[in-house]
């Protein structure tokens, strides 16, 4: 039996955290002894960690302050595998790798398209150097899309044999059960169509260009309303943009929602407006909820999702405009393809193969 130590910054709401919790739930207990360490033991997904998984609180405010606690725990547990996700934490653990027990393998899961992160950082030259120098020292790098994998190989000198692509798992049955748990959030709203966007209110998610597209939609559909689920540092800036565009009454910021699936089930359209992604879980989840979708093409795995699922006609280049066919229901074949490419059991088995 392999002892696997998962390490994450926290379990605050996010796609990477959700994937890790899903793996903790479904990895085979006959093959793996699972442990979880958190830089800071907090976040809404804590309640979803299975009872048989010990959780270690490293009690550090930032990753940079967690080097010694991480190393102490790794030496104490002597895991066969250390598994981490999110770039800054991955880099920290690769630096510590030389001090880990000799039998311990380090698997890192990259959560985003690294070139885009580097380009938008305050010191691109430094981050490019760190990724180029350190990432190739991991034993294995899990990428969420072929695009991400090629980016690491071509731009950051990661050896091809060390980079693998595993798509994010979609637990379609659980998502659909949760979608049926709550009341229709639009029940008491006279608006139609109701458009939903979900994500942290940060530059990456491109909510600014979604808002920019709203006046054009409102000319054709004056009763339309946009509902934005999420929190983040750009909330006030986005609200000011709504004032400038004269759409304050047509946009609602509803904050983080623990069950976004009930919103997706009843929405008339889900929009992914990101400037870049790794592999957007929220797009897969919207499709699992049988919600009509549209996405703006961008660096990352979004094009792969749309092509795999036969939704290429719902992928916009560069700028967002709303075509009437976007509001049409998604065909049933799309749900079948979703399970075929991104189904929970398939993806968990892929992780088990590489962890073993």
Q: For residues 261-281, b (16+ Cβ closer than 10 Å) or e, as one string?
A: bbbbbbbbbbbbbbbbbbbbb
Task: Tell me if the bond preceding 193 is cis, omega within 30° of 0.
Answer: yes
With cut-offs at 50, 70 and 90, classify the pLDDT of residue 229. Answer: very high
228 forms bridges with which residues in the sheet?
197, 253
CA-based nearest residue to 230, from 8, 9, 13? 13
Mean pLDDT of all residues belonging to the chain = 94
Instruction: List all residues 6 or more positions away from 51 whose beta carbon is below 8 Å from its beta carbon.
Output: none
Q: Is the pLDDT of residue 14 over 90?
A: no
The 10 Å Cβ neighbour count of residue 20 is: 24
Same fold, 2-169+344-355 and 172-342: yes
98-119 confidence digits (pLDDT tens):
999 999 999 999 999 999 999 9
50-66 confidence digits (pLDDT tens):
999 999 999 998 999 99
Q: Is the pLDDT of residue 182 over 90?
A: no
With cut-offs at 50, 70 and 90, classify the pLDDT of residue 311. Answer: very high
Residue 265 and residue 291 in contact, taking contact as beta carbons nearer than 8 Å = yes
| CA angle in degrees (0–180, nearest 5) for 108-166-330 | 135
- With tokens 């009872």, the residue in question is 51
With cut-offs at 50, 70 and 90, classify the pLDDT of residue 199. Answer: very high
- Enumerate the domain spans of the chain: 2-169+344-355, 172-342
Radius of gyration of the chain (CA): 21
pLDDT, residue 190, reads: 80
pLDDT, residue 178, reads: 94
Q: What is the largest CA-CA distance in the chain?
A: 64
CATH (residue range 2-169+344-355)? 3.40.50.2000
Residue 33 and residue 27 in contact, taking contact as beta carbons nearer than 8 Å = no
With cut-offs at 50, 70 and 90, classify the pLDDT of residue 172. Answer: very high
pLDDT, residue 80, reads: 98
172-342 CATH fold: Rossmann fold (3.40.50)
Share of the chain above pLDDT 90, in %: 88
- For 219, the 3-state DSSP assignment is helix
Residue scoring higher pLDDT (188 or 226): 226
């Amino acid at each position: 039996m392999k002892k696997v130590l998962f390490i994450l910054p926290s379990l605050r709401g996010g796609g990477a955290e959700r994937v890790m919790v899903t793996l903790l739930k479904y990895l085979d207990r006959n093959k793996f002894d699972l442990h979880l360490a958190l830089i800071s033991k907090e976040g809404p997904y804590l309640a979803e960690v299975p009872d048989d998984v010990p959780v270690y609180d490293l009690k550090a405010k930032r990753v940079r302050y967690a080097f010694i606690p991480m190393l102490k725990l790794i030496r104490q547990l002597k895991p066969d595998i250390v598994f981490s996700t999110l770039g800054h934490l991955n880099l920290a653990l690769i630096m510590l790798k030389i001090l880990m027990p000799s039998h311990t393998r380090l698997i890192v899961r990259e959560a985003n398209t690294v070139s885009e992160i580097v380009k938008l950082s305050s010191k691109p030259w430094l981050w490019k150097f760190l990724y180029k120098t350190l990432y190739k020292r991991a034993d294995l790098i899990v990428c969420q899309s072929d695009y991400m994998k090629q980016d690491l190989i071509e731009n950051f000198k990661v050896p091809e044999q060390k980079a693998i692509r595993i798509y994010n798992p979609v637990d379609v049955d659980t998502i659909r059960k949760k979608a049926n748990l709550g009341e229709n959030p639009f029940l008491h709203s006279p608006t139609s169509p109701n458009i939903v966007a979900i994500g942290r209110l940060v530059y990456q998610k491109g909510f600014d260009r979604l808002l920019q597209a709203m006046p054009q939609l409102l000319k054709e559909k004056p009763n339309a309303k946009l509902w934005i689920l999420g929190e983040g540092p750009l909330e006030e800036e986005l609200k000011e943009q709504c004032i400038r565009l004269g759409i304050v009454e047509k946009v609602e910021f509803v904050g983080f929602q623990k069950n976004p699936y009930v919103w997706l089930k009843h929405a008339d359209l889900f929009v992914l407006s990101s400037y870049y992604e790794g592999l957007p879980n929220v797009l897969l989840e919207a499709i699992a909820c049988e919600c009509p979708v549209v996405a703006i093409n961008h660096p990352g795995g979004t094009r792969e999702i749309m092509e795999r699922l036969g939704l290429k006609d719902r992928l916009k280049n560069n700028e967002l405009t709303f075509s009437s066919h976007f509001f049409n229901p998604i065909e049933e074949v799309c749900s079948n393809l979703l399970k075929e490419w991104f189904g929970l059991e398939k993806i968990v088995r892929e992780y088990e193969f590489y962890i073993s």
